[in-house]
Structure 1
Amino acid sequence: MTIYHFVGIKGSGMSALAQVLHDMDFKVQGSDVEKRFFTQLALEKSGITILPFQKENIKPGMTIIAGNAFPDTHEEIQEAMKLGLPIVRYHRFLGDFLQRFTSVAITGAHGKTSTTGLLAHVMSGAKPTSFLIGDGTGKGEQDGEYFVFEACEYRRHFLSYFPDYAIMTNIDFDHPDYYANIDDVFSAFQEMAVQVKKGIFACGDDEHLQKIQAKVPVLFYGFGEENDYQAKNIVKTTEGTTFDVFIRNTFYHSFSIPSFGDHNVLNSLAVIAVCHYEEVDVNVVQGQLMSFEGVKRRFSEKTIGSQILIDDYAHHPTEIRATIDAARQKYPNHEIVAVFQPHTFSRTQAFLDDFANSLSNADKVYLCDIFGSARENHGNLSIKDLQDKIENAEIISEEHTSVLEKHSDSIIIFMGAGDIQKFQDAYEKQLS
């Protein structure tokens, strides 16, 4: 029996794929650096072997699935080449694997992970559904009918996929280290659209998505009147959000979600649209929407003393704005404190003013040093450049998080895609 060996198994997509294969009774193992990552827990719970990188891990008869972060010069990949073993890159393997199911790709600049998690949860209430989420979670169903997966536009990786359906949540300029501008991003999504086999569900409130061309029906969802699936009569409370769905201007059903902010209404509407198209029982959809507990690192809350700490992956100005808005809906009478760590120098430079504007929606802002990679040329850019653009912003370090203690009865949001969790961990240790 083939053993699948994952080079870089702790990567979020890789660990999710390893879990999917393991659940479907394939033999799986993997290797990575020794540092602990949040994706490890699920792998350990599944009993999947994680080895430290060394060429001795590679044995005859294996199939190698290689993470995108590791070049062909990596010692394990080199060893596999020497032994003549099949070596498949992560996104290429996934592209082939999808063909066994009715597949739904979730793509977009923002909201991919949350929407993938939500669709997987709702669909699995009706039919056996396998899924792969960018927060490092995955599940394989032996007799799975559907496969719901997150498809990332970074470096055009999603062009390895030919899914039955695609949800496109939005198009926005991001990954300035790779994309030249918004037109470059649009061209990647347009190319992806042509590869979809049955239908696309696109947010019609997004001016860029309105221009998408495809060989299959493009169904639009959103708040605007001209959408095929429209959310109306939205009621926001501190418990969640309720809204009516109209399909081509005809009332369909009312839905409630235990989450906050307009972005979560749109994510839910995309899921409702796919389920309606695939004739999933509306009662199942209503129930599953209410029981969804969210995905990792998206508005993950814990209460410590009089403060509520929220961990969120927001790392783009659009996402920061949405996260602060959601916190305001849920906690209208509390001070909102943002603790933000910019991710990559290229993104910080490209969005310096936008970051300042979106963070200014919080009542108080603390900034952490930029999380950059050694490969990046950061010129003279530093966190001070962002601080100068935000009124009363302060710079915070892992050693000096105690300054947050003075915000009693507040909501403190730790935001970023780097290692912002270490600041929250340091603060929690400080409190205890």
Structure 2
Amino acid sequence: MTRPARLPTGPAHLIGVAGYGMRGLARLLLGEGRAVSGTDAAPGPATDALVREGLRWTGGEGVPRDAALVVHSAAVAPEHAELREARARGLPCLKYAAALGAFCAERTVLACAGTHGKSTSTALLALLLRHAGIDAGWLIGADPPPGLDELPSNARAGDPMAVEACEYDCSFLQFRPRGAVITNAEKEHVDCFPTEAALLDAFGRFAAGIEPCGALAAPPAVAARLRGVTAPGVRVVTFGPGGMWDVAARRAQDEGQDVRLCGPRGEEIDVRLSIPGEHNALNAAGVVALACELYGCEACARGAAALHRFRGMRRRFEVLRRGPVTYVDDYAHHPTEVRATVAAARERFPRAARLIAVFQPHQATRLETFREEFAAALGAADLTLVLPVFAAREDGAARAAAGAAFAELMVRRGAAAEFCADFDAAGRVLDGACRRGDVVVCMGAGDITEFAAARAAAARQAEDDGKEA
């Protein structure tokens, strides 16, 4: 696999700049001292923040005359007016993933990939390296998390760059990393990977791109399925149950957990995490395994001691409000993620009266593919409210019908579940059902995050007004 071409120099224009990854790329380009302009169909607080940081907002005026390249998100249609203009002018036009790969070509890429946990793992890796005295940059496909948002995201040529490497559309094949963590690899994105074999083939090609004499950290089962694909000299270190690095002890705390990690040569590294759940302990194990392999355990132990500063990704078990009724917002939209989130809620709030899940399925194809797994994962909650599917490609009636059918499936499986036709209906059910001590976990990758924020704000206001919330 050849190293990606370097990014063209000069002013950059970003179409779809409000997307999570595009925002991060805009900040990296601004950090290089480039002139950066951008536009998006959905401007808001995120784009306002970029303007304050130096972005020139064009708002559909067209591609600036001085632009030297154009970058667009994968969601931008090929016939977008500004893309047509850029092509007519002969400007280089790159998708986000290709542009990020080119940006990283002059840097030492440390990539975090996997079906789940890659955003959190990237944040943990960047924080560990920085506090180990290693000048590392970072880019995460989510808002900058507390604990990392004050650290510089850019990296000089040759310096390490912790990057979230997404498997969707094989985007992670744009990288040629020095080191990589694969947190897990299981069936997902069925529109791109119709079979698990197709997904594993993509992860195999990603692992094959690791530089000779680099390193790969992966769970034993994933490492076994990828055996023989890496370049000569790549060290493969396993983590998790049965791995070279494992979680030897874990104790839940009110605001996270204490974790002891043990390595292949008797190393012991104690880590305090401010995020709950066994899955996050395993994320930390993967990050420590890779960092120790590349930079040595002494430095990494110093860095690991600072991981408590990471308070979690936004929308990854984000506690919006803790009170008589506690509200949590989570991005979970795959059965494995839902199961981990419900387990983390039980661990974080062991004395909760009830755990109420509000679930917005994300894409009808995903819900249909994993409906039994979703039903089992959500069945661990005391009550589940199911919303219509969030997806742009299905009409409203179809999305509602899919959600209602799934709620009926849960009831047939013996779970307490109810379909809510919209957010207003879900709010009314919560108003009547919630009692003191309940924990409400809102899950999904769509606009349920706005519902969660509104419920938490209303509950806070009610408490301020002296009412029961």
TM-score bucket (shorter structure): over 0.9
User: How far does the alpha carbon of each residue in 1:168-198 deviate from its partner, in whole angstroms, 9 at most, with x for none?
Assistant: 0000101112211111100000011100114
Q: Following TM superposition, by how much is the alpha carbon of 1:423 offset from its aligned partner in structure 2, in angstroms?
A: 1.9
1:398 aligns with 2:423: yes
Give me the whole-angstrom Cα distance separating, in 1, the residues matched to 2:317 and 2:371.
23
SS of the residue aligned with 1:382? Answer: helix
2:116 is aligned with 1:110: yes
Report what 2:278 is aligned to: 262
In the alignment, residue 148 of structure 1 is paired with which amino acid?
A
- Which residue number in structure 1 is paired with residue 218 of structure 2? 203
* Mapped contact 2:107–2:155 kept (Cα < 8 A): no
Quick one: distance in 2 between partners of 1:322 and 1:262? Answer: 8
How far off is 1:9 after superposition? 0.5
Kindly indicate whether the alpha-carbon contact (under 8 Å) linking 1:402 and 1:427 is maintained by their aligned counterparts in 2.
no
Identity of aligned residues (%): 28
Asked if structure 1 preserves the Cα contact closer than 8 Å seen for 2:155 and 2:161, the reply is: no
Match of 2:372 in 1: 353
SS in 2 for 1:52: coil
- Equivalent of residue 4 in structure 1, options 12, 15, 19: 12
Quick one: distance in 2 between partners of 1:328 and 1:214?
39
Q: TM-score, normalised by structure 2?
A: 0.85
The code of the aligned residue for 1:395 comes to F
How does 1:276-291 map onto structure 2 within 5 Å?
276-277=292-293, 278-279=295-296, 281-291=299-309
Q: How far apart are 1:131 and its partner, in Å? A: 0.8
Alpha-carbon RMSD: 2.3
Q: C-alpha distance in 1, partners of 2:68/2:308?
A: 43
Q: In structure 2, do the counterparts of structure 1 residues 303 and 269 end up closer, same or farther at CA, with 3 Å as the change threshold?
A: same
**Structure 1: tracts of 5 or more residues without a match:** none
Does residue 1:140 correspond to 2:154, yes or no?
Answer: yes
Distance 2:314 2:81 in 1: 32
Partners of 1:244 and 1:422 in 2: CA distance: 37
Measured in 2, the distance between the counterparts of 1:331 and 1:7 equals 42
1:313-372 CA distances to partner (integer Å, 9 max, x unpaired)? Answer: 100000001011111111111021111100001101101111110001111111111001
Q: Which residue of 2 aligns with 1:23?
A: 31
Note the 1:179-198 alignment, pairs <5 A: 179-197=193-211, 198=213
Structure 1: how far apart are the matches of 2:322 and 2:307?
28
CA separation in 2, counterparts of 1:94 and 1:324? Answer: 34
Task: Return the letter of the residue paired with 1:316.
Answer: H
Select which of 300, 307, 320 maps to 1:302: 320
Q: Deviations over 1:22-76 (max 9, x none)?
A: 122121111111353x74364244232333234x333244311121112331100
Pick closer, same or farther for the CA change 1:426–1:245 going to 2, 3 Å: closer
Structure 1: distance between partners of 2:380 and 2:40 = 39
Matched, 1:65 2:76: no
Q: CA deviation at 1:305?
A: 4.1
Partner of residue 93 from structure 2, selected from 79, 87, 90: 87
For residue 133 of structure 1, report the CA deviation from its aligned partner. Answer: 0.2
More strand by share: 1
Distance in 2, matches of 1:28 and 1:20, equals 10
**Matching residue of 1:237:** 253
| 1:429 Cα offset (Å) | 5.6
- Cα distance, 1:375 vs. partner? 6.4
Q: 1:74 aligns with which of 68, 76, 80?
A: 80
SS in 1 for 2:126: helix
Deviates more, 1:111-120 or 1:95-104: 95-104
Change (3 A) 1:249 1:381: farther
Cα distance in 1 for residues equivalent to 2:399 and 2:355: 33
Q: Distance in 2 between matches of 1:41 and 1:84?
A: 30
Question: Does structure 2 retain, via aligned residues, the 8 Å contact 1:201–1:270?
Answer: no
For the 8 Å contact 2:320–2:456, the answer to whether it is kept is: no
Q: Distance in 2 between matches of 1:6 and 1:61?
A: 10
Structure 2: distance between partners of 1:81 and 1:204? 44
Deviations 1:373-402 (A, max 9, x none): 226896995101110122221223222303
Aligned length: 427
The TM-score, its normalising length taken from structure 1, stands at 0.92
Contact 1:128–1:143 (Cα < 8 Å) also in 2: no
Q: 2:464 is matched with which residue?
A: none
- Paired AA for residue 30 in structure 2: H
Bigger shift: residues 103-112 or 207-216 = 207-216
Shift of 1:255: 2.3
